[in-house]
């Protein structure tokens, strides 16, 4: 059977574990060459090994997205090797502390916004030329329900996700008549990840869906002809 991403090039951020790792592995199984990024090379190497074991191919790019020139260097390296980028999944994010809005630490809030929003804008800027060159470019951003439905103590993280959604959807509107590029938003819902465990200590992870379920949904989305600005919300 023909793999739906055969010959395509994909980039997944925050791909060393959890949802990012599961998405990267799913894309690799479906024929994409996956460029995977995260801060820790050890986790990336494990994901790369699993992709190769399933018959796929991957390139690891250990880097910290909030370093001043890391994204520009990554974009330049990808452009030297490939003529286009077909899929970009903006998954990397940090939770920060869950605290009353009036008590948010400014330095920590700055870091949350830098990784969750500013780095995503830099990724869009850096890879925009390659995404436009794809015959069917796809940009998917991972979000959270707290970005649309504010929740007590989640102000910092929720604000970052609300900003990310606005940023990504605005980009989709800007390019929709200029390139065959479509933008989508995915809200994975309650999923058994390390971030979820930090946010809800004591919760039984066995009651949650695994990251692979999110990856399967993203893969199905990529295999469909979804409309620009499409939003996928997964149930618990």
Which residues are part of the catalytic machinery? 157
Nearest CA-CA partner of 126 in 68, 45, 47: 68
Direct distance between the N- and C-terminal alpha carbons of the chain, in angstroms, rounded to an integer: 32
Nearest CA-CA partner of 66 in 111, 12, 13: 111
> Cβ neighbours of residue 148 under 8 Å, at least 6 residues apart?
162, 165
Residue ranges of E strands in the chain: 9-12, 33-38, 57-62, 87-90, 137-142, 181-187, 230-233
- The single residue listed with the structure tokens 């330095």 is 107
Question: Is 35 in contact with 113 (CB distance < 8 Å)?
Answer: no
With residue 138 as reference, give the H or E element that holds it.
strand 137-142
Torsion over CA: 2, 25, 44, 169 (sign): positive
Residues, the chain: 236
| Three-class SS state of 188 | coil
Cα separation, 124 vs 120, in Å, equals 6
């Amino acid at each position: 059977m023909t793999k739906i991403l055969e010959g395509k090039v994909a980039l997944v951020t925050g791909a060393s574990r959890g949802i990012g790792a599961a998405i990267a592995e799913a894309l690799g199984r479906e024929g994409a060459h996956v460029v995977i990024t995260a801060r820790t090379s050890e986790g990336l190497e494990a994901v790369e090994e699993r992709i190769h074991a399933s018959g796929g191919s991957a390139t690891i790019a250990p880097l910290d997205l909030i370093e001043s020139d890391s994204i520009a260097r990554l974009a330049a390296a990808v452009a030297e090797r490939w003529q286009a980028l077909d899929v970009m999944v903006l998954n990397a994010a940090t939770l920060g502390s869950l605290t009353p809005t009036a008590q948010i630490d400014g330095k920590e809030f700055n870091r949350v916004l830098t990784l969750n929003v500013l780095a995503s804008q830099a990724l869009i800027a850096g890879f925009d030329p390659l995404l436009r060159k794809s015959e069917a470019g796809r940009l998917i951003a991972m979000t959270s329900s707290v970005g649309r439905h504010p929740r007590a103590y989640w102000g910092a993280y929720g604000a970052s996700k609300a900003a990310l959604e606005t940023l990504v959807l605005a980009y989709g509107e800007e390019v929709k008549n200029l390139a065959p590029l479509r933008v989508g938003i995915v809200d994975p819902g309650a999923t058994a990840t390390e971030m979820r465990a930090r946010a809800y200590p004591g919760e039984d992870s066995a009651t949650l869906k695994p990251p692979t379920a999110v990856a399967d949904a993203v893969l199905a989305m990529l295999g469909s002809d979804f409309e620009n600005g499409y939003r996928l919300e997964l149930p618990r």
